A and B are shown apart, each in its own frame.
Chain A
Amino acid sequence: MFTKRDETLVKQAVKGSDRAWHLLLTRYEKPIFNYALRMTGNADDGADLMQDIFISVYRSLTQYKGDGAFKSWLYRIAHFRCVEYYRRRKQWVDVDSLPEMESDACCHDVALHSNRQSKALIVAMQGLPLTQKAVIELKFFGHFTFEDIASQLDVSVNTVKSRLYSGLSKLKLELDNESF
């Protein structure tokens, strides 16, 4: 069976095809939910964030001009919604200076479906600032290039690299702490 390209499905969805939209939804709901889960550290918040992301994508679908990969466009919106989520959560406190989330209570829903290492990763990622967490997420789970990540986050490539190095170092410490 042929798999339709994202851009084709988007065009059909813009023309009113519910089937095309639901194909896109089915294709990306799991990656986006896991993205939201890793970014929020909580299954309920992750589900809410996923719905926010897809509603935002659905409303903005006509603005996608096909001049880049749909996946990049989707994750760009996802990042904006994630930043918005943190802003709502912290009442306009600087997201870079947010204290880390409580790690004990964040993953009990996930434990049913994840192995120990995955759960440890989710907990460890909550110890990173949002900017570093976003870069690691997009690089190692989204498999985007540095240029794509820089474009999605509206920062320079060097900033992306810097955040990645810092995030990896800090994440190693967090994972080591989790293993103990």
Chain B
Amino acid sequence: MNPSDNSFGYDKDDIFAAWLDRHLTEEEQANFEHFYSTDQAFSAAVDNAKNMRQVAQNFDSVPVPHWDKRRLFSSASYERIRTTPWFSIAAMAMSVGAMFLVLSGTQLRIDSEGVTFFSATSQASLNALVDEKLTQFHSDNQVLLQNYADAMKEQQEQSAVALTHYLLSSSRQERQADFAELVSFINNQRQDDQRFMTRQLSSLQREINSIGQGYPSTMPANYLMSEEDE
């Protein structure tokens, strides 16, 4: 309905409301009667309200049909539901959990390895963790390789030193053996020379002795043969 149809102006509205609430003062009662007698719309609304009030007062209340309120409201289980709203708490907890899963971007992955929960944030942290692990693995490998190279280098140096020592010691022994052989050879030559000189001297002495006893001074034939044998 158009508001203009309903409104009697500020005073009429208030007076009508006060009349309905039965709170009219004497002055308002006078205004009410004045409006009722002069304003047709006001009087029609009042008549409608009076009629409705009378109908409401004469209304025969209908008896309440039977309903088992004792059983509905007195059972212990219902009491527990009312006093301990576990269902509401559980529903709230599950709602909060669902909100957390949604807000955290958690996703469910089902594959041959089973069911896996992962979230956007955990994925990022997982990537960071993998990168960190890879960096750590790389640096560890570098250190390990450096240690291995150092060990190899040290081992090579030790091998070189050992080889040098071996070569030096073996050369010295060979030289010692060569010198010993040379000395032995020289000694043998000297002994041969001494034997030759002894034989020459002996031959010379025998020749000298034969000269003194009247033997010719020429060399004997076996002397020449012995010389060739030498």
How many whole Å from A176's CB to the nearest CB in chain B?
A: 10
| Structural contact, A22 and B62, CB atoms closer than 8 A | no
Q: Does B170 contact A (CB under 8 A)?
A: no
Which chain B residue has the least Cβ–Cβ distance from A113?
Answer: B62
How many whole Å from A126's CB to the nearest CB in chain B?
A: 15
Query: In the complex, which of the residues B3, B48, B82 contacts A171, with contact meaning CB atoms closer than 8 Å?
Result: B48
| Structural contact, B45 and A117, CB atoms closer than 8 A | no
Interface size classification for chain B:
20 to 34
Give Cα distance in the complex from A153 to B203, angstroms.
Answer: 167
Give Cα distance in the complex from A157 to B120, angstroms.
Answer: 52
Which chain A residue has the least Cβ–Cβ distance from B53?
Answer: A140
How many whole Å from B32's CB to the nearest CB in chain A?
A: 16
How many whole Å from A18's CB to the nearest CB in chain B?
A: 5
1/0 per residue B40-77: CB within 8 Å of A? 00001100110111011011111111010110111000
What residues of chain B lie closer than 8 Å to A139, measured between beta carbons?
Answer: 20
| Structural contact, B56 and A165, CB atoms closer than 8 A | no
Which chain A residue has the least Cβ–Cβ distance from B21?
Answer: A145
| Structural contact, A113 and B60, CB atoms closer than 8 A | yes
How many whole Å from A161's CB to the nearest CB in chain B?
A: 6
Give Cα distance in the complex from A164 to B5, angstroms.
Answer: 12
How many whole Å from A110's CB to the nearest CB in chain B?
A: 6
Q: Does B79 contact A (CB under 8 A)?
A: yes
What residues of chain B lie closer than 8 Å to A61, measured between beta carbons?
Answer: 82
| Structural contact, B63 and A22, CB atoms closer than 8 A | no
Give Cα distance in the complex from A68 to B48, angstroms.
Answer: 31
B residues 1-34 with Cβ under 8 Å of A?
Answer: 1, 3, 5-6, 13, 17, 20-21
Which chain B residue has the least Cβ–Cβ distance from A44?
Answer: B65
Given the interface pairs A114-B60, A117-B58, A162-B6, the reply to whether A171 lies near B52 with Cβ below 8 Å is yes
How many whole Å from A13's CB to the nearest CB in chain B?
A: 10
What residues of chain A lie closer than 8 Å to B58, measured between beta carbons?
Answer: 115, 117-118
Query: In the complex, which of the residues A30, A117, A136, A175 contacts B61, with contact meaning CB atoms closer than 8 Å?
Result: A30
1/0 per residue A109-135: CB within 8 Å of B? 010011101100100000000000000
Q: Does A59 contact B (CB under 8 A)?
A: yes
What residues of chain B lie closer than 8 Å to A168, measured between beta carbons?
Answer: 45, 48-49, 52
How many whole Å from B152's CB to the nearest CB in chain A?
A: 82
Q: Does B83 contact A (CB under 8 A)?
A: yes
Which chain A residue has the least Cβ–Cβ distance from B20?
Answer: A139
Give Cα distance in the complex from A165 to B83, angstroms.
Answer: 43
| Structural contact, B17 and A146, CB atoms closer than 8 A | yes
Give Cα distance in the complex from A16 to B73, angstroms.
Answer: 11
Beyond contacts A114-B62, A162-B6: 7 other A-B pairs, Cβ-Cβ < 8 A, are: A21-B73, A29-B69, A54-B73, A55-B72, A113-B60, A121-B56, A145-B21
A contact residues vs B (CB 8 Å cutoff)? 16, 18, 21-22, 25, 29-31, 33-34, 37, 43, 47, 50-51, 54-55, 58-59, 61, 110, 113-115, 117-118, 121, 136, 139-141, 145-146, 161-162, 164-166, 168-169, 171-172, 175
